[in-house]
Chains A and B, each alone.
Chain A
Amino acid sequence: MSERPGEHGVTLDTVKRAEDTPDERQPYAELGMKADEYERVRQILGRRPTSSELAIYSVMWSEHCSYKSSKVHLRQFGAKAPASDALLVGMGENAGVVDIGDGWAATFKIESHNHPSYVEPHQGAATGVGGIVRDIMSMGARPIAVMDALRFGAADAPDTRRVLPGVVEGISHYGNCLGLPNIGGEVVFDPCYIGNPLVNALCVGLLRKDQIKLATAPGPGNKVVLFGALTGPDGIGGASVLASATFEDESQAKRPSVQVGDPFMEKLLIECCLELYQADVVVGIQDLGAAGVSCATTELAAKGTGGMDVRLDLVPLRDPSLRPEEILMSESQERMMAVVTPDDIDAFMAICAKWDIPATVIGEVTDGGRLVMTWYGETIVDIPPGTAADEGPVYERPFHEPAGQAALNADDPSRLPRPDDLRATLLTLLGSPNLASKEWVTSQYDRYVRGNTVLAQPADAGVLRISEVMPGAEETTRGIALATDGNGRYARLDPYAGAQLALSEAYRNVAVTGARPLAVTDCLNFGSPEDPEVMWQFAEATRGLADACKILGVPVTGGNVSFYNQTGTTAIHPTPVVGVLGVIDDVARRVRNGFTGEGDRVVLLGETLAEFGGSEWAHVVHGHLGGLPPQADLEAERALAHVLTEAAAQGLLTGSHDLSDGGLAVALAEAVLAQGVGCSVSLPGDDAFTDLFSESPARALVTVRPDSFDAFAELCAAHEVPCQRLGVTGGSSLAVEGVLDIPVAELRETHEATLPGIFG
């Protein structure tokens, strides 16, 4: 028999051959599988797996795809979930979906692309955006915005100068070419992220709530269509293996090229998918991300009738020499898989042709309960798909408190000398890389495209008008708000509190725009789960987040876990990044960021305690990390959010800003810089340093017109939110009576010079 493509003289490992050669040694360890996991595959199949089957199980059972170390902890998000009328699709699908009113639904999710972004910053970050956008598309939605939560090593570290510009350019190029506004996010520097940058990409999409699509393949006889980019040797073993092991102990074979993205193809794929949805010719759909065809076929089949026949030799290839195992593991970008009835297949293909999207029928849904794949007529895969998709290993990893944790918590910042010159302290903080203007980054992102951006960075949350031309959609005045937050230093000091504080801040950032927080997505970035001390951080953080979501009434709808963010035995700070989505009934009532006009009352909401553990002041001025983080006060957060959303709806607020890193001093400076409107304020307490730099949560700065103040104070009293008049807006400086007076121009120069000074 003549050689078929993709064989290269290597014997095709068919099911028949696997049965005949039970003792053939297989490279399961090189593919990242443990001996007992391999043994389980043999038990499931009643024989050794073929090499193609081994490829499927190895990627599907990787940490990245199976969540085998995190699953037992993530279950809390379901078990403790608050009752929510808004939740339409919860965890376990490509992304969660929430009801935002008037027949509209929003779907959103955040996902990491950390390791690829370290290896190849531009493509790693770009394909991170591409991947999360396809998750949103596969729910039946039009993607409408993105944002990114980024963490880098020290700003002036040489490797940061390699990684950051590449990451920003990757996000910029991919997102801008897709025509998705980038409306917010974070850029944080800390030496703990050197060698392990975090690139967490969030996408939000919009759909009619009766048009949700799910990843399922029901209906024997239905066609399985692979459409989008051709399959090439991209990231073979990429995300799955890359995301499953630290870099240094890796063999060269396990360090493949990062996938390369084509945003033009993705833009066409978006428009093509939306037209397919409108034509109602899609039964089920799944994007191809990590584990590519393996993941899409096993998951679609497992959630459908259970069976699927696939002719792997029909997969259109960019590189015709690919072996079947490589096709199964390829992570080529910009691909989707759909299940289509035979009656609709012509219409489906015509729409793909209109958008110049290659589409190929590669298989058919069956009722056999088996996923069967052939290669030029020979069977190379024959497995029950659920065993790969849903029944991967689950680990109860051991965990215990880190050895130095008690000593770390005992090292209270109260021992640090307090500054004499608060003016200089504020300028030092304002020019420090974490608090400095991020315009160098955000000016590389298109924030206006699609024409619905109401607020974007540096506002506390991005706000979008809901206005899309879709059949059956009525005019609406609604908007949505989105924010992400996460403070690794707080989480290092206390992961339980750190996760709650991340949620608190994102929740508050949504509320200060006037939106009502509805739901949560999270990206949990940690070191190795095989380290019991890291696992303790993970267990504490998930417990803290689940408890806080219950109290705040916002369910986790989905997200992602990223483990192995460590170099040697040194892990990053535990970094749970939390995204919160809110809704505002009349988006014209949104509250703008900072001081927006002269003569308004400046009001501080919430209570200030002396809380400096993990603070920006301790970090920047003393390089100190110790003690306990600020105490999360979820009831106070909830009351504050009620006041903010109610006041916005009544039109009482002229501006607002959340208090967080750097405390009141930095919040005042940022509020002044928003529009260049100064202020004169006096401090309420008797310790100016604590008033200005403490990082107590559940606080916000608002401005109200003098004639609205009484009504606003009454609203605060009704919700028992402390409300203090600090002063009035106006003038050309930030003036704090008896403490400091800094001209706007000096604030601006200090705030804006830092990042251009480092990155050019």
Chain B
Amino acid sequence: MSAARVGVVTFPGTLDDQDAARAVRHAGGEAVPLWHADPDLKGVDAVFLPGGFSYGDYLRCGAISRFAPLMEELIPAARAGLPVLGTCNGFQILCEAHLLPGALMRNAGLHYICRDQRVRVESTATPWTSDFTEGQEIVLPIKHGEGRYVADAATLAALEAGGQVVFRYAGSNPNGSMNDIAGIRNEAGNIVGLMPHPEHAVEDLTGAPSTDGRGFFSSILKRLVNL
């Protein structure tokens, strides 16, 4: 049986694509590079939108990327159920593309912040988090300047009521996110966005002093194999 194929998207200014591809490979999947200007998903089984500063974060984080040619293919595929994970800038892009509700604003402390953050898993009902247990606390690095999740009251209430909050910051809230939200999913559950970086927490030797990020990759690969 051939390995599950996870597309890793590179926009101009994407930075964590190498890390994301390595994490997919470590988990036993095949990482398929997808180029922003190429409107072709190459038949991948899932898509990872990594972090970075796509298009320099000019105008607004993710605001230009959502118009990339690749997104013309990705947006309808995601709406039709393709599993998509966006981390950091990837999360910002998913919000700008209206695949996820709400927006990510400048951190409350106004500084970029890089630290190892405790995060609580609130939902395992997604193809990216099924290997975790609900309420489990994990450690993932965060590194962002604009990670404060905001949404209007109705949206926030709907997210909470629908179990769409997937991750919450535990301990101290690093950026002032509403309801300590670190990550959310769409109603269907196939699209997940979060500010923390699972791809930097998959190896003992490198990255954060945690391998909790492996759960994302084992979850999706299991799901793809069992499709």
Give residues in A with beta carbon < 8 Å to B: 169, 172-173, 176-179, 262-265, 267-268, 355-356, 442-454, 465, 469, 587-588
Contact = CB atoms under 8 A, between A and B. Distances in A.
Given A444-B114, A465-B205, A465-B206, A449 B143 contact: yes
A451 B199 contact: yes
B143 A448 contact: yes
B200 A448 contact: yes
19 contacts: A176-B112, A177-B13, A177-B53, A264-B56, A265-B56, A267-B12, A355-B12, A444-B111, A446-B112, A448-B197, A448-B200, A448-B208, A450-B19, A451-B18, A451-B200, A465-B205, A465-B206, A469-B18, A588-B205
B206 A454 contact: yes
Contacts of A265: 56
A448 B56 contact: no
Contacts of B53: 176-177, 263-264, 267
Contacts of B78: none
Interface in B158-210: 197, 199-200, 203, 205-208
Given A449-B16, A450-B19, A262 B56 contact: yes
Contacts of A443: 111, 113-115
Nearest to B12: A268
A177 B203 CA distance: 24
B52 interface: yes
Most chain A beta-carbon neighbours within 10 Å: one of B55, B197, B199, B200: B200
Contacts of A356: 12
A442 B19 CA distance: 21
Contacts of A179: 15-16, 52
Contacts of B197: 448
Nearest to A354: B37
Nearest to B58: A264
Contacts of A451: 16, 18-19, 22-23, 199-200, 203, 206-207
Nearest to B201: A448
Interface string B16-35: 10110011000000000000
Contacts of A267: 12-13, 15, 53
A447 B206 contact: no
A449 B15 contact: yes
A453 B206 contact: yes
Interface size class of B (residues with CB under 8 A): 20 to 34
B141 interface: yes
Nearest to B203: A451
B206 A444 contact: no
A439 to B, nearest CB: 8
B174 to A, nearest CB: 10
A453 B206 CA distance: 5
B119 to A, nearest CB: 15
Nearest to A590: B205
A178 B206 CA distance: 20
Q: Which 5 A-B pairs have the closest CB atoms?
A: A264-B56, A179-B15, A451-B19, A448-B200, A177-B53
A444 B18 contact: no
A35 B51 CA distance: 55
B12 A446 contact: no
A447 B15 CA distance: 12
B20 to A, nearest CB: 9
Contacts of B205: 454, 465, 587-588
Contacts of A449: 15-16, 19, 143, 200
A445 B111 CA distance: 10
A120 B111 CA distance: 19
Given A264-B53, A451-B206, A445 B13 contact: no
B7 to A, nearest CB: 17
Most chain B beta-carbon neighbours within 10 Å: one of A449, A454, A587: A449
A448 B114 contact: yes
B112 to A, nearest CB: 5
Contacts of B18: 450-451, 469
B113 A444 contact: yes
Contacts of A268: 12-13
A453 B16 CA distance: 13
Most chain B beta-carbon neighbours within 10 Å: one of A179, A355, A447: A179
B143 A446 contact: yes
A448 B207 contact: yes
Nearest to A178: B15
Given A179-B52, A268-B12, A447 B114 contact: yes
Contacts of A588: 205
A446 B114 CA distance: 6
Interface in B100-156: 111-115, 141, 143, 145
B72 to A, nearest CB: 19
Contacts of B113: 443-444
B19 A173 contact: no
Contacts of B199: 451
A270 to B, nearest CB: 11
Most chain B beta-carbon neighbours within 10 Å: one of A173, A444, A447, A451: A451
B145 to A, nearest CB: 8
Most chain B beta-carbon neighbours within 10 Å: one of A452, A454, A465: A452
Given A176-B143, A177-B57, 7 more contacts: A177-B15, A262-B56, A263-B53, A264-B56, A450-B19, A451-B200, A451-B207
A179 B56 CA distance: 11
B56 A177 contact: yes
B115 A452 contact: no
A142 B174 CA distance: 32
Contacts of A444: 111-114
Interface string B81-116: 000000000000000000000000000000111110
Contact of B13 (A264, A447, A448, A454): A264
B149 to A, nearest CB: 20
Contacts of B52: 179
A447 B72 CA distance: 33
B206 A452 contact: yes
Contacts of A442: 114
Interface in B1-17: 12-13, 15-16
A262 B56 CA distance: 8
A264 B19 contact: no
B108 to A, nearest CB: 13
Most chain B beta-carbon neighbours within 10 Å: one of A265, A267, A465, A587: A267
A71 to B, nearest CB: 39
Given A448-B141, A451-B200, A264 B12 contact: yes
Interface string B41-79: 000000000001101111000000000000000000000
Nearest to B10: A271
A355 B22 CA distance: 23
A750 B200 CA distance: 30
A325 B77 CA distance: 55
Contacts of A447: 114
Contacts of B55: 264
Most chain A beta-carbon neighbours within 10 Å: one of B22, B55, B206: B206
A751 B129 CA distance: 38
Contacts of B15: 177-179, 267, 449-450
A267 B58 CA distance: 14
A697 B53 CA distance: 43
Contacts of B145: 176
Contacts of B13: 177, 264, 267-268
A469 B19 CA distance: 11
B8 to A, nearest CB: 13
Nearest to B19: A451
A628 B143 CA distance: 44
A274 to B, nearest CB: 12
A676 B18 CA distance: 33
A167 to B, nearest CB: 13
